[in-house]
Amino acid sequence: MILGWGEKSKYFGGAVVLILLFPIFCLSSEPGRIVGQVTDASTGQPLVGATVWVEPLNIGTTTDSSGRFAIEKVPPGTYQLRGHIIGYSRISKRVRIEAAETVEASLAMSPVSFRLKDVVVTAEKEKLSEAEHSQAFVTVIKAKEFESKAVSLPEVLAGTAGVQVKTLGGLGSYSTVSVRGTSAQQVRVYLDGVALNSALGGGVNLGNIPLSNVERIEVYKGTIPAKFGGSGLGGVVHIITKRTGATVGGCALKGGGCGTRQTSTFFSGKHKDFKYLTAIDYTESDNDFPFLDDNGTRYNKRDDQWKLRQNNGFRSFNLIGKIDWSHSGRTELSVNNNFCWSYKGIPGRGSFQAKFARLKVIRNLTEFSFLRRRFLKYGWTLGLKGFNSYYASDYRDLKAEVGLGRQDNHNVTRTYGGEISLKSIVGQHQVWSLLLKWKQERFLPSDRLHHEQLFESRRRSYSLAAEDEMVLLREKLSCILSLRQESYQSRFYGDYTHGHWVRAPARKRSYRFLSYRLGVKYNAFTWLIIKGNIGKYYRVPSFYELFGDKGATIGNTGLEPERGLSRDIGFRITIGHIGKIQETALEVAHFDNRLDNLIQFIQHSQMTSRPENIGKAHIRGLEVTGKMDFLKHLRVEGNLTYQQALNRSELYGGIYYGKLLPNKAKWETNIRATFFSKDYGEIFYDYSYTDKNFHDLYNKVPINRRIIHNVGFTVVCPWRQQLRSTFEAKNLTNTQVADMWGYPLPGRSYYVTINGTF
């Protein structure tokens, strides 16, 4: 059903030729064209799906996800341009067009109310994000799903089909995400379009990103859209913070188990052509929850005893500032800044708790963007973006409680870069996109304990992507093809010999590769959508893998990038009102990922290890997501993930071949039942199941299956609907679990949240 599913090389070249030659048959030199944007007259927001046509020619089109439209092959003359969408008044505009001329004609439509007997209905169309229109399988988690609850970003992601989260336990603890069985390093994480992944290596820590400032989260599974750039294998997690807009403010107070306290507030507004936003969040927790300590003897239950978690406290402060400026709907400027400070104790494993180890982190992201619509002759949209990132960490373990030996390290990573993007609607059924992206990253470590300024590592990367999207068969079929050329240059200055860092010739490594993606979406019926994707992606080795560390790890500059071939196919069914059922939605996706050149560390001696390209893996599975609203006040939603993540490595003569990859459970299920009322609030129950899996490659150290039950209720203030209070009880059965190598997770706990807008 997807081109190239079985024999992609046979059809790939032909698909490229057909897609690139298609515009030749759409362009005409004599007639002109009408382009523009349809917006809400009161808010200025784009209107998606509005109908625009030319009278008396009766030719027209509908607006895309940004409210833009283009009507081609319009003969010279004077016409009436009309627009219509449900919930808004019809609008008409006189347009005159000359031969081969492109005319700009934007429409601003006013919302209206309709009276049907004694009921007044105001139609309000919700804008769908670009992710929700995508050919890829994407889960969009909106703020209304979590803003009234005491949950963290790792918890929200863990409830998504195909997503696994591993954490070291407690609020603010180090937490990483994997998608469809891939590793945390193979997943790209973005905050407002800026990558958080570091060239140093390791996954992105999600534990210190608060949800209070987040508007929505987009999870692209197995697919990386060209607009993100950068290499990866598992997919993308894109975290989008609150937008600027109409004058509105809000605040929230949360408190509960283990001394958890959170305060957050935001305010947004607009003045003439300017929009702005300020958001603040402060969170702290003692994280001193009780856990069952096995005393380091897993199979001897007689010496188990209950203890309190020590040195697990967490504090964080986050500040977001945004300013947007727009002029005549054609030019937009924006400046965003995201600051984070966090301080956390490092408790160590459950049986060997540390008392003094600490980690302090400061992260600051600054982004500038410029957008110009109707750029050049054929209505191109030009986008410019620049960003700067500063990340500093102070890790102190002066009593050697956690790591190997005493440590007092101060590490700084500075990243800056930019991108240029061009996008154009070609004809009525095709969109071309181009993206050029570059980034410079510098990692500068220092050892305060030995008063040594260590030598820096640098990485420079370039990405050039071209994307072509077509709509065919009377807008039933949409296809997208993207090609991306990437280049990486890594350098490490200095060497570690005889116990000291010395200046040495730079060691360097360069990579260049071409990745691709082909996606198809077919609207078979109004209630059935079929999707399929295939793509080839890469992950370049990290600094840690290329150049090693201060002695325990030997770098390998000969490493090749990890490679992955990602394929999926599935469907989505959406059915409206049937009897007492108001809405039903079901999405099923089958995925098949083949990974090669996986990097694994091999022990070379008792004290050192070296990374090698020896790993292979085959990951396949099924994702099922569903939702049903019935009896007007009851909603049941959930997901089921089955995955078989098999190790195909030949390491040590193939002793791990056919084993399950570590921390990859076969079955995961999440179910939520909600009894809700618009005027009074809701009562909810959550059920989460994770199948047994393993810590190690040889599948000898198990992680027991877990079942978690959460319940709670939300009460709406009778005299002010925007004010809500929520009570939650988590892990009702006090299930004792440990995600990774003896780091326990909290047991039963209770939380209260009060939030509202003004």
Q: According to the model, what pLDDT value does residue 495 have?
A: 59
Residue tagged 């407002």 (tokens) = 192
Q: Is the pLDDT of residue 665 over 50?
A: yes
Over the stretch 98-150, which tens digit does the pLDDT of each residue have? 887 888 888 888 887 545 444 444 434 445 566 777 889 999 999 989 988 88
Mean of pLDDT values over 85-108: 86
Q: According to the model, what pLDDT value does residue 501 have?
A: 55
Q: Is the pLDDT of residue 441 over 90?
A: yes
pLDDT band at residue 330 under the 50/70/90 scheme: confident
Contact indicator for 470, 430 with CB cutoff of 8 Å: yes
pLDDT band at residue 426 under the 50/70/90 scheme: confident
Q: According to the model, what pLDDT value does residue 16 have?
A: 41
Residue 261's CB: how many other CB atoms inside 10 A? 14
Q: Is the pLDDT of residue 652 over 50?
A: yes
- Please, is 461 exposed, middle or buried when counting C-beta atoms within 10 Å of its C-beta (0-12, 13-18, 19+)? buried
Q: Is the pLDDT of residue 49 over 90?
A: no
What is this structure's pTM? 0.82
Q: According to the model, what pLDDT value does residue 686 have?
A: 96
Q: According to the model, what pLDDT value does residue 6 have?
A: 41
Over the stretch 691-712, which tens digit does the pLDDT of each residue have? 998 888 888 888 889 999 999 9
Over the stretch 459-481, which tens digit does the pLDDT of each residue have? 999 999 999 999 998 889 999 99
Mean of pLDDT values over 303-328: 91
Domains of the chain: 31-122 (2.60.40.1120), 130-240 (2.170.130.10), 241-757 (2.40.170.20)
- Output the CA angle 485-491-494, nearest 5 degrees: 170
Q: What phi, psi does 548 have (nearest 5°)?
A: 75, -165
**Distance, C-alpha 19 to centroid of its chain:** 29
Least trusted range by pLDDT, from 42-56, 385-399, 744-758: 42-56
* Three-state secondary structure of 89-148: CCEEEEEEECCCCEEECCEEECECEEEECCEEEECCCCCCCHHHHCCCCEEEEEHHHCCC
Over the stretch 676-693, which tens digit does the pLDDT of each residue have? 988 899 999 999 999 998
Over the stretch 483-542, which tens digit does the pLDDT of each residue have? 999 999 988 876 554 445 556 667 788 999 999 999 999 999 989 999 999 999 999 988
**By C-alpha distance, which of 106, 115, 56, 113 is closest to 83?**
106
pLDDT band at residue 234 under the 50/70/90 scheme: confident
Q: Peptide bond before 290: cis, by omega within 30 degrees of 0? A: no
Q: How far apart are CA 587 and CA 626, in angstroms?
A: 6
Q: According to the model, what pLDDT value does residue 628 have?
A: 93
| Tally of helices (H runs) and strands (E runs) in the chain | 3, 48
Residue 140's CB: how many other CB atoms inside 10 A? 16
Q: According to the model, what pLDDT value does residue 603 have?
A: 65
Mean of pLDDT values over 728-748: 86
Contact indicator for 330, 339 with CB cutoff of 8 Å: no
Q: Tell me the β-bridge partners of 281.
A: 264, 318
Q: How far apart are CA 254 and CA 647, in angstroms?
A: 43
Q: According to the model, what pLDDT value does residue 22 have?
A: 40
Over the stretch 160-192, which tens digit does the pLDDT of each residue have? 999 999 888 888 888 999 999 888 888 999 999
Q: What phi, psi does 259 have (nearest 5°)?
A: 65, 35
Q: Is the dihedral of CA 485, 3, 7, 23 positive or negative?
A: negative
pLDDT band at residue 12 under the 50/70/90 scheme: very low
Q: According to the model, what pLDDT value does residue 29 have?
A: 45
Least trusted range by pLDDT, from 191-205, 293-307, 575-589, 633-647: 293-307
Q: According to the model, what pLDDT value does residue 494 have?
A: 66
Q: Is the pLDDT of residue 427 over 70?
A: yes
Q: According to the model, what pLDDT value does residue 668 have?
A: 96
Token readout for 462 is 């370039």
Residue tagged 């990405």 (tokens) = 463
Q: According to the model, what pLDDT value does residue 14 have?
A: 43
- What mean pLDDT is reported for the chain? 85
